[in-house]
Amino acid sequence: MNIQDAPHGINVVIETSDARVLIGRFDSTNGFQALLHDCDVHPVGAGEDAESYIRNTAKYGVAVKERDFVVDIHLIERVRLLGDVPKPD
């Protein structure tokens, strides 16, 4: 999915080129930046499995750390809906 195609008000998972995972409600984009609300910004450490963190968030909910967060579009590597992420057993 492209960030421009993300539905307004739905929780998305964004993986960035600077080793962060952002999970929050997508608001809008101006073509250069994307705005998320009620967001968790999770730095992915060396050797850490980002997918495990993402799946746990899908199961238990977003640990909100930022009310509003802006990410530069050129940093975005992957976008998906949090509701589409498989939850761990």
Residue 29 confidence (pLDDT): 97
Label each residue of 25-80 as H, E or C. Answer: EEEEECCCEEEEEEEEEEECCCCCCHHHHHHHHHHHCCCCCEEEEEEEHHHEEEEE
Q: How many domains does the chain have?
A: 1
CATH of the domain at 34: 2.30.30.100
Segments in the chain below pLDDT 50: none
Cα 19 from Cα 49, distance rounded (Å): 11
Q: Within a domain: residue 65?
A: yes
Q: Within a domain: residue 30?
A: yes
